Structure 1
Amino acid sequence: MSLYTSFCSAVIFPLHEALKKHSTVKVRRDMEQSQWLNRDEIRLLQLKKLKAFLADVQSHVPYYKNLFGQTGFDPEAIDNLEQLADLPLLAKSEIRAHLADMKADDAVGLSRFNTGGSSGEPLIFYIGNLRVSHDVAAKWRATRWWGVDIGDPEAVIWGSPIELGAQDKIRLLRDKLLRTHLIPAFEMSPEKLDGFIRQIQRIRPKMLFGYPSALAHIASHAEKNGIALDNLGIKVAFVTSERLYDHQREKIESVFACPVANGYGGRDAGFIAHQCPQGGMHITAEDVIVEIVDAQGRVLPAGELGEIVVTHLATRDFPFIRYRTGDMGILSDKICACGRGLPLLDEIQGRTTDFVVARDGTVLHGLALIYVLRDLEGVDAFKIIQDSLDKTTVQIVRTDCYQASIAEEKIVGEFKKRLGAAVNIGIEYTDFIAKERSGKFRYVISHVSP
């Protein structure tokens, strides 16, 4: 670690957080101790925090004060984490309907946030200093797992209009001091990609951070044009906000000559989990309780696929309790080789809308269709849209070596094998496939509920 990085990590960033009245430094130090607790000790810590959190929420948040009264729920009576399931699940529609009553009556300095709205309708919510401190601390801890720290040169390849619109003068000064370089990657034309590559070469970052689709796209463009990026000294590429596919990981690791560290979370649900160098996807268990539920909302055991539901214990100013993320995943009951007692997510399989439904009702992961297109020569980019049980549309950006008759026969035949012989498969050719409004790219979008 360089002297300047040490100065940033020990002085500049802590001063920045103190001025903002954030307890980030203490929280991170505590987390770096508690991560080594064993699984039972962590569950006891969660139970203690959960009881205090729910009692606080009952006293200060009108929505939950009414809910607990109506259901007879008593936070003081909780003696195990499984009793959390006695509370109803929290959907985005419920937050929209009760936005004012979701705020604590003694909350100070709440900041208004919203999700990018990949479901079509952005969610407005609020975050207080406690929540910010804990989420930043959790990300900071995970960053340090990889031998890098705040103050090391970082290239942030991002495409969300929300972050890009927030680059005021103070943030720009902070980023300059901390050597964080924001590269707006909402547009991915060949000319823009050339510019991104030149910026990365100039910065020579120790770490990359961004959407996996954006980093993989830059890596593919560099490889296609014979541009070497394996000599920059990059130590790790952090990816988040989208599902990380194996082919993306392989491309990023090959071109940038560094490991890829997957992170999972969001503006709404918080910093949920992060991968360690030994491969474990560790849940931020000091702050986050993760449940996996089926379509009826019943809690599933480890090893079974269901929707990821999150309770964030540092959200007392605007609580997220049993919040439905819309993402699908599997909990693991294994212990990671790194020795941390933090529980593990075995798989994160994307949003519920990343799954498709066959004509006979069989639910398939989008990968069942993605691999058909990935193996075709001349397909530069694609998107699959399941409009209904009877119709699926494929958008394709072609290259010169694309053979339409062969490709179309393959796509229609393979898709019908998976979705049903009677399903209409439409193929549309385009010069460009737009990202979502959030800046993310999604290979599969289904309008059919699994």
Structure 2
Amino acid sequence: MEGFKEKIYRSAPHSIQNLIITFFNILAYRKRYSTLYYEYLKHYKANNKLALDALLKIQKEKYGEFIAHAISYSSFYKKKYSEIANPENIDNIETLPIIDKEALRIDIDSVYTITKNKGHVSKTGGTTGKSLEVVYTAEDTAERFAILDNFRSKFGYTLGKKTAWFSGKSLLSERDVKKNRFWKTDYLYKVRYYSTFYIHEKYLKYYLQNLIKFRPEFMVGFPSTMYEIAKYGEKHNIPFPPHTIKAIFPTAETVTQAIRSTLEHYFKTNVYNQYASSEGAPFITECRNKNLHMELQSGVFEVLDDAFKPAHKGRLVVTAFHTHGTPLIRYDIGDVIELSSDKCICGNNNPLVKEILGRASDYIYSEETGKINLGNVSNCLKGVKGIVKFQVQQHHKNKLLVLIIKDEETFTDNDSKRFTSNLRERVGAKMEINVTYVKDIAVEKSGKFRLVKNSLNY
């Protein structure tokens, strides 16, 4: 909804806005749930328990076809691979150049294999603020949603079941905020969209009251938003009705152990994580045994160290088979993961990931202790009761700025000392730590909340 359409939406009353959202969903779902989508969904459901050898064979075949397509239709890749022998062979993947987001953005017009008006355009954000427009073919879109829905269907989800969706879309008007109404509803498909832009202590009770009244079967969206609501409920002893939510599906943000345990305890359900990206990264999905599986049918996953050599833990470089419109081949997506050598008995024979550590920039750097990842930063709250939310910013190698929203009733000097001690333990004695108490911490333009904002390049 842009321009004139957006003006109409903004000026419409709440009930009409709900109808407008429903109307746009009808149009979107007609395109998304095509005959091709159902063919892909049937394919992935049939392949849920394929042996690893069969999965690797499919991956090899799809890789060859995908590279051949990129060379034929993308002038960017045709030029890049002109002097590389047999680039279609997956065994030669290390001979292909690694592409990062900036390189892709600069030459994006030559990367496209179709024009924007012939595909579906998706805009990505990012920590640099520079957006990237990727174009998906109809086949790409159908396959991506089939993979995602195959994953969610394992836990009972289908379109039309009552769902609370925590979205980065800008849906609210000033009237909504004045009335403490932070949601819009698609009554046809039973989806209630909750804004992620007003997650403030003074508004959280309205979110929670409405969630309890709505009684969704599933929750989807930014985990940091759901986490704040759950913490509010725990703090104020507001029980969430048991046997209501069947599963929580987080998107777009890293799920720390603190977030997972709080969501599962308060909402009395299980969190099932999945990893992809708006650029079109291949999928990593979580099974009932809480193990993360790399979906080999969706692409190739390479984990590389700082020298871009294969590693057990490091930067994730992907080749995504459902990006025919804007091919992603050996794309350095900027995230860090750790592989696992364990085996899972759930029936999914795709290789395991031990942990998704988030964006490579989501860390604190200390000259004494090295890189402190997102999970370790989150754990600074251990033993601390009075902090509602915090964010660590690092713009100088020896300085940290810590923004803290404190609970005026429960926060004590001991909480302050304990938090600072926890952080000091992680960053060492030489780091300068500047703590500022604030009333609010802004989310990003996308609606996401970043626990760590690091502008360094280590």
AA aligned opposite 1:423: M
| Distance in 1 separating the partners of 2:434 and 2:31 | 56
For the Cα contact (< 8 Å) 1:269–1:325, is it kept in 2?
no
SS, match of residue 155 in structure 1: strand
For the Cα contact (< 8 Å) 1:382–1:397, is it kept in 2?
yes
Superposed CA RMSD = 2.8
SS, match of residue 147 in structure 1: coil
For the Cα contact (< 8 Å) 1:234–1:258, is it kept in 2?
yes
Return the match for 1:187 from 198, 211, 215: 198
Report which stretch shifted further, 25-34 or 416-425: 416-425
SS, match of residue 260 in structure 1: coil
For the Cα contact (< 8 Å) 2:184–2:194, is it kept in 1?
no
SS, match of residue 128 in structure 2: coil
AA aligned opposite 1:24: Y
Instruction: Compare relative contact order (CA 8 Å, sep 6+) and give the higher one, 1 or 2.
Output: 1
Q: 1:274 maps to what in 2?
A: 285
Deviation per residue, 1:274-309 (Å, 9 max, x gap): 111121212222122111111122222xxx210111
Residue 110, structure 1, aligned to residue 119, structure 2: yes
SS, match of residue 364 in structure 1: strand
Q: 1:289 maps to what in 2?
A: 300
Q: 1:4 maps to what in 2?
A: none
AA aligned opposite 2:142: S
SS, match of residue 353 in structure 1: coil
SS, match of residue 266 in structure 1: coil
Q: Between Structure 1 and Structure 2, how many residues are aligned?
A: 424
AA aligned opposite 1:156: W
Q: 2:78 maps to what in 1?
A: 65
For the Cα contact (< 8 Å) 2:230–2:262, is it kept in 1?
yes
| Distance in 2 separating the partners of 1:106 and 1:415 | 49
Q: 2:254 maps to what in 1?
A: 243
User: CA 1:44–1:193 in 2, change beyond 3 Å: closer, same or farther?
Assistant: same
SS, match of residue 418 in structure 1: helix
Return the match for 2:320 from 309, 312, 324: 312
Q: 1:397 maps to what in 2?
A: 405
Report which stretch shifted further, 82-91 or 206-215: 82-91
AA aligned opposite 1:40: D
| Distance in 2 separating the partners of 1:366 and 1:231 | 31
For the Cα contact (< 8 Å) 1:135–1:270, is it kept in 2?
no
Report the TM-score, using the length of structure 2 for normalisation. Answer: 0.85
Q: 1:331 maps to what in 2?
A: 339
Residue 84, structure 1, aligned to residue 107, structure 2: no
| Structure 1: runs of 5 or more not aligned | 1-11, 166-171
| Distance in 1 separating the partners of 2:294 and 2:106 | 30
For the Cα contact (< 8 Å) 1:62–1:105, is it kept in 2?
no
For the Cα contact (< 8 Å) 1:117–1:438, is it kept in 2?
no
User: CA 1:379–1:361 in 2, change beyond 3 Å: closer, same or farther?
Assistant: closer
Return the match for 1:37 from 29, 42, 50: 50
SS, match of residue 338 in structure 1: coil
Q: 2:234 maps to what in 1?
A: 223
Q: By how many angstroms is 1:432 displaced? A: 0.7
Residue 132, structure 1, aligned to residue 145, structure 2: no
Return the match for 1:94 from 95, 103, 109: 103
| Distance in 1 separating the partners of 2:238 and 2:426 | 39
Q: By how many angstroms is 1:438 displaced? A: 1.7
For the Cα contact (< 8 Å) 1:116–1:160, is it kept in 2?
no
Deviation per residue, 1:167-186 (Å, 9 max, x gap): xxxxx999433222212222
| Distance in 1 separating the partners of 2:266 and 2:390 | 22
SS, match of residue 188 in structure 1: coil
| Distance in 1 separating the partners of 2:358 and 2:429 | 27
| Distance in 2 separating the partners of 1:336 and 1:358 | 36
For the Cα contact (< 8 Å) 2:122–2:133, is it kept in 1?
yes
For the Cα contact (< 8 Å) 1:14–1:25, is it kept in 2?
no
Report which stretch shifted further, 291-300 or 331-340: 331-340
Q: 2:444 maps to what in 1?
A: 436
Q: 2:16 maps to what in 1?
A: none
| Distance in 2 separating the partners of 1:159 and 1:21 | 26
SS, match of residue 433 in structure 1: coil
Question: How many percent of aligned residue pairs carry the same amino acid?
Answer: 23
| Structure 2: runs of 5 or more not aligned | 1-24, 174-182
For the Cα contact (< 8 Å) 1:289–1:310, is it kept in 2?
yes
For the Cα contact (< 8 Å) 2:258–2:378, is it kept in 1?
no
Report which stretch shifted further, 195-204 or 143-152: 195-204
User: CA 1:26–1:14 in 2, change beyond 3 Å: closer, same or farther?
Assistant: farther
Q: 2:11 maps to what in 1?
A: none
Q: 1:9 maps to what in 2?
A: none
SS, match of residue 330 in structure 1: strand
Q: By how many angstroms is 1:374 displaced? A: 4.2
For the Cα contact (< 8 Å) 1:46–1:286, is it kept in 2?
yes
User: CA 1:346–1:27 in 2, change beyond 3 Å: closer, same or farther?
Assistant: same
Deviation per residue, 1:72-118 (Å, 9 max, x gap): 24345x1xx34212111111111111111011158862222211323
| Distance in 1 separating the partners of 2:391 and 2:379 | 12
User: CA 1:214–1:22 in 2, change beyond 3 Å: closer, same or farther?
Assistant: farther
AA aligned opposite 2:356: I
AA aligned opposite 1:427: V
Residue 385, structure 1, aligned to residue 393, structure 2: yes
SS, match of residue 237 in structure 2: coil
For the Cα contact (< 8 Å) 1:35–1:342, is it kept in 2?
no
Q: By how many angstroms is 1:333 displaced? A: 3.5
| Distance in 1 separating the partners of 2:31 and 2:288 | 30
Deviation per residue, 1:392-449 (Å, 9 max, x gap): 1111112223234x45544555544433333211111111111122211121222233
AA aligned opposite 2:433: I
| Distance in 2 separating the partners of 1:444 and 1:345 | 23
Return the match for 1:53 from 35, 56, 66: 66
User: CA 1:370–1:173 in 2, change beyond 3 Å: closer, same or farther?
Assistant: closer
Residue 74, structure 1, aligned to residue 86, structure 2: yes
| Distance in 2 separating the partners of 1:18 and 1:443 | 36
Q: 1:7 maps to what in 2?
A: none
Q: By how many angstroms is 1:119 displaced? A: 3.5
For the Cα contact (< 8 Å) 1:396–1:428, is it kept in 2?
yes
For the Cα contact (< 8 Å) 2:282–2:320, is it kept in 1?
no
| Distance in 2 separating the partners of 1:233 and 1:407 | 34
| Distance in 2 separating the partners of 1:396 and 1:384 | 9
